[in-house]
Amino acid sequence: MKEGVSPKEAVLEFERFIVSEYLRYGSVDEILRANRFKNLGVSYPGIYHILKRWGVVRSLGRSSLPLTETLELLVRAIEGKIPIQTLYRGMPPSFRPRLATVHRVYNETKKLVKQEVEIKERKNIRRVGTALVITPGWDSRQILVARDVSPARGDVGKPHGSLSLPMGFSKMGEREKAILRVLQQEVFTGKFLESPAEFNKKASGLIDGSEPFMFIDIADVRVAVYHLVLPPELSSQDNFSSFKLKGFKFVDAEELLHPDDGVLLRRGMKEIAQGYKEYGVRLAEELEPQPFYVDSFFNQRVALLVADQESV
C-alpha cells in the first residue's frame, strides 16, 4: 500500500487496475496470462465480482469457427479458377477451417445462391454484432471513427490499423446492454474508469430506447447499427479513449464513401456510411422510419462469384 493512501482508496485503485486490464485484454484469462509473473492477490471468481460491482458489460468470446476465412478462400479459388484443394494446401497454418469444411461451405453456398427465398431463410447468421454511428449534436453529418489497434481478425474483416466505427460482438436480443458494452470498451473507457456508476447512469440516459436504424450482414455476422447523438459536454475529442481504438476524430460520411488512397477501412464501413445517409433521408420523410437490411459488398461479391462459377 502506498504511504498516505487509505485502505479504501487502495482497494478502489486496485479494482480500477483490474477493470482497466479487463478492458485492455477482453477476458479474465488474458488478464491472468498478461500478469502471470505478478501476484495479483485476487482469485478468478474475485475478478468477476469486481467486474460486476463496477457494472462492466463483459465481452463475448469466440462462439463459432469463422466463416469469413472459408469464404475468402472460396472467392480466391473462383476468381483464379484454382482447385480448392490446391489453394487450401497453400494456406498458412493459422488458417483454421478443415478442407472438408471448405468443401461443405462451398457446396452449401451454391445451394443458397440458387434458392430465391427470404434473406433470413437463406442466411446462416451465427453471430450478431453492434455498431455505433456517433455524431455530435452540432453536426449530424460528422461520424466518430478511429484506428483499430487491437489484434487483427480476418473473420470479421478487421485488419490492424483500419479505420473503424465503435463496434463489437453482442448476444442475440441485446440492445441497450450491447450499446453500453461498446461505449465502455471502445468510446469512453477513461470516463468509465474514472467513475463507473456516474458514467453508466449518463450512458443509460444517452442510449435509452435506442433502436437500430439498419442491419448489415458481413459473412455470418449480422450487425445492428445504432445512431447516437452526443450532448455538447461529451462531443469534444478529449472525451474519447479506448485500448482498442486510437486517434478518434469526426469525419463527414462522404469521406467514408470516397476515402483517400491508402486509407484502410474496416469491412462494412462504406455500406454503413451509405446506410446512414439513407437513414437521414428517411428520417426527414418519416417520424419513425423502419430499420432496413443490407448485404455487405463482401457477401454480394461471394454470391456473384459462386453464381458465375455455376454458369460456366
Cα–Cα distance for residue pair 69/271, rounded to 1 Å: 20
Joined together, the cell numbers standing for residue 144 give: 466518430
DSSP character string of the chain? --TT--HHHHHHHHHHHHHHHHHHHSSHHHHHHHTTTS-----HHHHHHHHHHTT--------S--HHHHHHHHHHHHHTT--HHHHHHTS-TT--S-HHHHHHHHHHHHHHHH----HHHH----EEEEEEEEEETT-TTEEEEEEE-SPPBGGGTB-TT-EE-SEEEE-TT-SHHHHHHHHHHHTBHHHHHH-HHHHHHHHHHHHTT---SEEEEETTEEEEEEEEEE-GGG-SGGG-B-SSEEEEEEEEHHHHHSPPTT--BPTTHHHHHHHHHHHHHHHHH-SSPPPEEEE-HHHHHHHHHHHHHHH-
- Report residues of the chain scoring pLDDT below 70: 1-4, 61-81, 94, 96, 109-126, 153-158, 297-312
**pLDDT, position 126:** 67
Instruction: Decide: pTM greater than 0.85.
Output: no
Give Dmax over CA atoms of the chain in angstroms.
78
The residue among 260, 255, 94, 264 whose CA lies nearest residue 162 is 264
Looking at the DSSP bridge assignments, the partners of residue 245 are 148
**pLDDT, position 261:** 82
Residue matched to cell numbers 469464404: 71
Cβ atoms of 199 and 105 closer than 8 Å: no
**pLDDT, position 120:** 41
Whether CATH 3.10.20.590 fits 127-294: no
Residues 6+ apart with CB under 8 A from 198: none
∠51-57-62 over CA atoms, to 5°? Answer: 105
Where in the chain are the domains?
7-53, 67-122+301-311, 127-294
